[in-house]
Structure 1
Amino acid sequence: MKISTHSAVPVYTISGSNTARPLPDWLVRKRKRSLKQDPEFTNRVELLQDFDFEEASSCVRVSEDGDWVMSTGTYKPQIHVHYLPHLSLSFARHTNCLNETFLLLSSDYTKSLHLQTDRFIEFHTAGGLHYSTRIPRYGRDLVYDRHSAEALVPSVGVNTDGNGEVFRLNLEIGRFMKGYEVEVGGNDAATVGARALQGGISTGSVNTAAVAEDSHNLLAFGTSLGTVEFWDSRSRNRVGILSASQDAFEGRSEISALQFERSGLELATGNSNGIVQLYDLRSTVPLLKKDQGYGFPIKNIIYLNSSTSRRAQTSENKILTSDKRIIKIWDRRNGNPWTSVEPAVDINHVEWCKDSGMLLTANEGKQQHSFFIPQLGPAPKWCGFLDNIVEEMAEDPNDPHAFGKNSAGEVYDNFKFLTLPQLRQLNMGHLVGTTSLLRPYMHGYFVAQKLYEEARLISNPDLWQEQRAKSIQEKINKERESRIRGNKKVAVKVNRKLAEKILEREEKNERRRARKVLEKGIDDHMVDVDEVPAVGEVDSEEIRPTGGVLNDPRFARLFQDEDFEIDEESHEFQAINPSTKLPKGLTAVEQEEMESQRGSSSDESSSESEAEQTQLVRKDGSEDKNRISSSSYKKSGHKAQRGPQMVVSSSSRKPQQSRDRTFGARVSKLQDRSAPTNNKTVVVGEREITFAPAKKQRKKAASDEAQGQRYDRKDRRSASGNVFRRM
């Protein structure tokens, strides 16, 4: 897809010349693998399969139901029919002679009428050629009068009375009727029509015809004299003649194209000098005169009116005119040009897909052209994907073929899509169906951007304050995001926790700064960061210089050099940061205090005191509640396990009755103590645990000879209910 014009209204060339590199089928099959890597070939848009001819195309038509496209071309003379829902060629059919023009008589392709260049009229059906008949003279155009079921064929040359003739072929009866005799020069030998032979140069002829089907069904015939004759099909009489104004410098001009407007009160004429004129049937003075610019005969005139009344009320009045060089679309009210298309090859015929922005052409090139104008209408239902493609191209600034590639989304910048509830919210619901300012599309309407801005400002006068607050917030978020990302991009090799702490502090200051902007309502550049210090922190000047510590070159080695790495397990770091201290054993003072508490307690039994010494203590000074003590383990009746046991070293001396007052006195006494046995050493401020393998003998209980009972377990009752069992 390429942009064929860079005016205010873009036109996308979907298919045709200069859109994709043409390759023959056999070469495509041969280079199938290599073409997968060719971006130009893989990114092409093939709208319709085989939408081309070997030499040129002469005419193209779209069926009323919008599902079929029939086109004729050469060489060899053939007919192509495409099924649009499948985007493929349905069939191709060859003819004996070149096709001048044709008509679709049915709502689909099954019935068509073809005017051939060898004076034959052929009737084609879905199965092929149904019937052909011959006319006396060469035909120039072909129209169909639905009210009388007659095919009208304007012809070249004059009859015996010196008048041009329009042949009437009644399709209901199946025979020719008396034709319409149109004045093309008379019997005077000095006139053009009398002295020229049929088919010769400057031969008088009826060039074109038009029927007002939607209104009064008046027939109009354009002649080589530059006149337009109006005939009534009911009485078969001429009701008027319109003489086009002649220019002395241009000379005589022939009428080459005619088209009635839907109301039937306006007629558009195009002559052989490239001049288009709009007439009101109630006046001989033209309403508007437009020059196509190239001086070639006008080939097609199309009123771009929607078929639905609702859309026609809201759409602008535009008209399409074309010659063999250019297609122009302009406003029929004032004649202002809207957009234009100039293909690389000559144009033979233009067809508009109704209620859409799609144009199909038959031209002198091998490939038939298809153009898409988004602002004229949406894509047809059979190629609805074009809307998404065009929108993506418009929003892609890197696409060289996109419209407005320097600014994204420029195609739809002048319109705003609104739903019906949104229109009512803006108090614009009364404009629906009454003005052309609202364009219906899908479930909403396209509204001009200026109208939308004015309506939104009127409905919400405080909108500027909201927009200002929103813009301030967006600016703050943008600056904050850029700063945070900039700091995070710095390569930090060492002291990562310190860098994260600095980033967190800067982000906190930024949030406070943003809150102050929103509370005071002042501009962003008027706020100073130093005015908003963080709670519990010093001023920003003391924390870091301008740009932050991470961006300061004086502290660069702090985060790059391993020699400056902070050891968080060192005693100095833990002294400065108490929260990072690791749990450790009991100090000498804590251990002595624990021993004093043990000495003050009553010594109930030797087993209990021994259990107190072997009780495990955690590193943080708390007892293990989940562990069963050795004393309770013995009382439960289990035998002592042999093997290495963990013993907590403590002083074997008896606790003093009177405690020293100073810490220094306690330390001096600890140094004077003799070294404990079993190679145990006491370190001040720490606790040492050793494993001393020893065998423990089970104590024999003293027996009472008088009573004969055992008292090894005084605190446990006998499980037997017989009290005389051991007596």
Structure 2
Amino acid sequence: MQVNTSNDVKIYNLSAGRSQPAWISERKRRQMERADVNLRRRIQLIQDFEMPEVSQGIKVSPDGQYVMASGAYKPRMRCYDTAEMSMKFERCTDSEIVRFLILSEDYSKMICLQNDRYVEFHAQYGKYYRIRIPRFGRDMVYQPELCHLNLVGASNEVYRLNLEEGKFMESLQSSFATEINSCDINPLHQLLMTGSSNGYVEAWDPRSGKSEGVISCDIPDLISNGSGLSVTKLKFRDALNLAVGTSTGHILLYDIRSPKPYYIKDHNYSLPIKAIEFILEGDLIASMDSKILKLWERETGKPVTSIEPGTDLNDLCIVPDSGLIFMANEAPKILSYFVPSLGPAPKWCAFLDSLTEELEETAESAIYDDYKFLTADELDKLGLSDLIGTNLLRAYMHGFFVDARLYKKAKSIVEPFNYEDYRSHKIKEKLQAEQSESRVKVDKLPKVNTALAKKFLEASTNMDGKAKKKARMVDGNPLEDARFGDLFKNPAFEIDPTTEEYRLINPLVSKIEKRRKAKESHAEEEDVEKGEKEEPTELPDLEENGRRGEQEGSSDSSDDDREWVAERRKVHRTIRDEEYMERQTRRARKLLMVDPNRRGKVTEVETGTVPLISGRGVNKANVKPLGARLDEEEKQRGGAEEVQLAGGNRQMTFSLQSKGYERGREASAKHAMERKSVHRSSRGIGTKIKKPWKGKK
């Protein structure tokens, strides 16, 4: 069993698991199960739940006890009993079954529409009767109230067969349709709906045999290739809601009282819709084309989940009132899926509710793991053609199954040394080794100086043997070196990037890192160009190239130095600004704690009453009422000014500076003017100094 999660919805693939060949003996089968734990743990919901080649249709009987499936090749029908969880019987037919219906509560009455225009009636004991219709049939539906079997196909007529009287009734002829692909009957008001190949949905009243209305699904926005649109599937939800599947991969939801759809869902695969089912619990719709099954909300069209098995799908069956889904497909095994969010498991497999969360196996293999499929030409190349007809080869389709051990032995004898396989194998091993070496294992990084440890690991992986030997690195992992033990273990050696020393050296470190990366990329480009270019015909001028390299190197180094100096100055300015802001903050905090009676400082006074404070060492002025204290402070300040703030009962009081401060400012300005008058410039001093003469000795 395999579990997948799509859109947070768990989907359990019950048909996944290794398959065993059908031709092996029971003893060999038990040995394989004993040797392989995956074979023992696999879940077979129903034994032999498959067809020889292809499964074409699948249905569950109304009582839920039997599962009917049709397939090929040869054309056949199989019945599975859920009580025994195994196949009950198998019946082969002359032609492939296009559609089949279950008329009774169990398997005792069935109708099969075949692709050779025959309709077969089956009873409990076998085939009961067969009758032929004028045209090739494509779909059919049974109306139990009138005992009418309605068949549609490659014509504009609906053939009606009365099963009670055993005769054909008058056909319903459509004037709009050319060929009819699908039909469905509403069980509430008995309205028959047919979908044609030219995009029309027509409603019929079975009592009068007349057409009651026509809906055109040929919407121009849905047609992209200009070939037209055809109706491939019809399905009623209730008395009014109808779902129409088209050949362009759209599902149109109609209220039959309106000719326009109220919602259009696109599968985005441009493949014909093959099946539509309504899930009443949750108000969901399951729509299927040959590639994918999608579950989505009916009102909003929001996707719930999807199932894409990888093989072409033919038919869909959702077990009523459960989350179990069967799908017929172009492969021998019939697909089984369990979606717990849609509902519980049926009663006959209630163990799925507990097993789905415990057992999860890998995906199913495309072929048998213990056997190799070979064609006749491949047998000739290996020299195994003489084994045809023996027990060592098993004929299958256009080739043979051979034991994998025999195949490997024969191939080693015929091709003792296959250079291409050996070369591809070695290349693959080398790539895997390089990927494993270059991968940094984050889970082994220390807690102290994690970034530095990661940088060391990346540098060590890029070193070659000579570089590691030069660095005296014995092990491949530098973190295991004893010299760096305390650096990655002791928290006292933790690098703090917020300190002033680290910020001053950071421009230099970043510049070195940039140079190293640029050097590595330049070396890689030179290696690539060296392999692509041809050898030069003339030797280059080594002396000229050396001078040019020195000039370029000196210019590059000078530019780098100037850039580094600029970055360092920028960091210095940032640090000075931060220190200045910190000093200002400390000064402001001190000012808020100064005595409010001191002049020249900003204070904040809050109105109200102050309770009397009694005790030892308390100032007598503080026990006075607040109004008296404010009057005294105003007399002491003299020319103080008050500003009423907009915040309510708060005010800010400040006083002007004293006259002595003004006199000090005037004296400072006078002193500055005197120094400026006696200042002399040194601009002309350099021109008068004689420079030494540079000449030959």
TM-score when normalising by structure 2: 0.50
- Counterpart selection for 1:261 from 222, 234, 237: 237
2: CA distance, partners of 1:302 / 1:362? 15
* 1:53 aligned partner, one-letter code: M
SS in 2 for 1:42: helix
Q: Deviations over 1:104-131 (max 9, x none)?
A: 0001100000001110000001100000
SS in 2 for 1:26: coil
1:316 aligns with 2:282: yes
Q: 2:77: which partner in 1?
A: 79
* 1:270 aligned partner, one-letter code: G
Larger mean Cα displacement after TM superposition, 22-31 or 375-384: 22-31
Q: 2:383: which partner in 1?
A: none
| Equivalence map 1:526-545=2 (5 Å) | none
* 1:68 aligned partner, one-letter code: Y
1:90 aligns with 2:82: no
**Deviation, structure 1 residue 235:** 1.3
| Equivalence map 1:224-303=2 (5 Å) | 224-244=197-217, 245-247=219-221, 249-251=224-226, 252-262=228-238, 264-303=239-278
2: CA distance, partners of 1:254 / 1:273? 8
2: CA distance, partners of 1:355 / 1:287? 27
1:367 aligns with 2:340: no
Q: Verify the 8 A CA contact 1:5 1:341 in the aligned structure 2.
A: no
Q: 1:181: which partner in 2?
A: 173
- CA 1:380–1:255 in structure 2 vs 1: closer, same or farther (change >3 Å)? same
Structure with bigger helix share is 2
Q: Verify the 8 A CA contact 1:184 1:205 in the aligned structure 2.
A: no
1: CA distance, partners of 2:234 / 2:322? 23
**Deviation, structure 1 residue 27:** 5.0
**Deviation, structure 1 residue 148:** 1.1
* 1:352 aligned partner, one-letter code: I
Q: 2:179: which partner in 1?
A: 205
**Deviation, structure 1 residue 222:** 0.1
SS in 1 for 2:309: coil
* 1:335 aligned partner, one-letter code: G
| Equivalence map 1:377-392=2 (5 Å) | 377-392=343-358
* 2:214 aligned partner, one-letter code: I
Q: Deviations over 1:150-209 (max 9, x none)?
A: 11110103xxxxxx1111011011001111112356xxxxxxxxxxxxxxxxxx410000
SS in 1 for 2:9: coil
Q: 2:6: which partner in 1?
A: 6
1: CA distance, partners of 2:161 / 2:29? 53
Q: Deviations over 1:315-359 (max 9, x none)?
A: 310011001110011000100000111112111100110000011
* 2:189 aligned partner, one-letter code: H
Q: Verify the 8 A CA contact 1:77 1:97 in the aligned structure 2.
A: yes
1: CA distance, partners of 2:29 / 2:105? 42
2: CA distance, partners of 1:286 / 1:180? 26
**Deviation, structure 1 residue 287:** 1.1
Q: 2:162: which partner in 1?
A: 170
- Counterpart selection for 1:217 from 184, 187, 190: 190
Structure 1, unmatched stretches of 5+, are: 158-163, 186-203, 306-314, 394-398, 403-727
Q: Deviations over 1:349-378 (max 9, x none)?
A: 001100000111111100001110001000
Q: Verify the 8 A CA contact 2:20 2:29 in the aligned structure 1.
A: no
Q: Verify the 8 A CA contact 1:270 1:297 in the aligned structure 2.
A: yes
SS in 2 for 1:391: coil
Q: Deviations over 1:83-120 (max 9, x none)?
A: 11110110111111111110000011000000011100
Q: Deviations over 1:52-86 (max 9, x none)?
A: 11110111110000000111111111110011111
**Deviation, structure 1 residue 34:** 3.9
Superposition RMSD in Å:
1.6
Q: Verify the 8 A CA contact 1:184 1:224 in the aligned structure 2.
A: no
| Equivalence map 1:303-452=2 (5 Å) | 303-305=278-280, 315-393=281-359
2: CA distance, partners of 1:255 / 1:280? 17
- CA 1:34–1:141 in structure 2 vs 1: closer, same or farther (change >3 Å)? closer
Q: 1:537: which partner in 2?
A: none
| Equivalence map 1:77-156=2 (5 Å) | 77-156=75-154
SS in 2 for 1:41: helix
**Deviation, structure 1 residue 379:** 0.3
Larger radius of gyration between Structure 1 and Structure 2? 1
Q: Verify the 8 A CA contact 1:184 1:206 in the aligned structure 2.
A: no
1: CA distance, partners of 2:58 / 2:72? 13
Structure 2, unmatched stretches of 5+, are: 364-697
* 1:152 aligned partner, one-letter code: N
1: CA distance, partners of 2:122 / 2:162? 16
Q: Deviations over 1:261-306 (max 9, x none)?
A: 12x111100100100010111212211111112111000111112x
* 2:11 aligned partner, one-letter code: V
SS in 1 for 2:137: coil
2: CA distance, partners of 1:118 / 1:29? 43
**Deviation, structure 1 residue 43:** 1.1
Q: 2:582: which partner in 1?
A: none
Q: Verify the 8 A CA contact 2:201 2:214 in the aligned structure 1.
A: yes
SS in 2 for 1:228: strand
* 2:125 aligned partner, one-letter code: G
2: CA distance, partners of 1:82 / 1:373? 22
1: CA distance, partners of 2:76 / 2:246? 30
Q: 1:48: which partner in 2?
A: 46
**Deviation, structure 1 residue 230:** 0.3
Q: Verify the 8 A CA contact 2:279 2:285 in the aligned structure 1.
A: yes
**Deviation, structure 1 residue 22:** 3.7
2: CA distance, partners of 1:31 / 1:374? 32
**Deviation, structure 1 residue 250:** 4.2
2: CA distance, partners of 1:138 / 1:34? 47
Moved over 6 A (4+): none
1: CA distance, partners of 2:70 / 2:34? 33
1: CA distance, partners of 2:29 / 2:11? 32
Q: Verify the 8 A CA contact 1:4 1:341 in the aligned structure 2.
A: no
Q: 2:616: which partner in 1?
A: none
Q: Verify the 8 A CA contact 1:117 1:138 in the aligned structure 2.
A: yes
**Deviation, structure 1 residue 4:** 4.1
Q: Verify the 8 A CA contact 1:13 1:19 in the aligned structure 2.
A: no
- CA 1:256–1:364 in structure 2 vs 1: closer, same or farther (change >3 Å)? same
Q: 2:514: which partner in 1?
A: none
2: CA distance, partners of 1:246 / 1:268? 19
Q: 1:467: which partner in 2?
A: none
| Equivalence map 1:610-621=2 (5 Å) | none
| Equivalence map 1:455-534=2 (5 Å) | none
Q: Verify the 8 A CA contact 2:17 2:39 in the aligned structure 1.
A: no
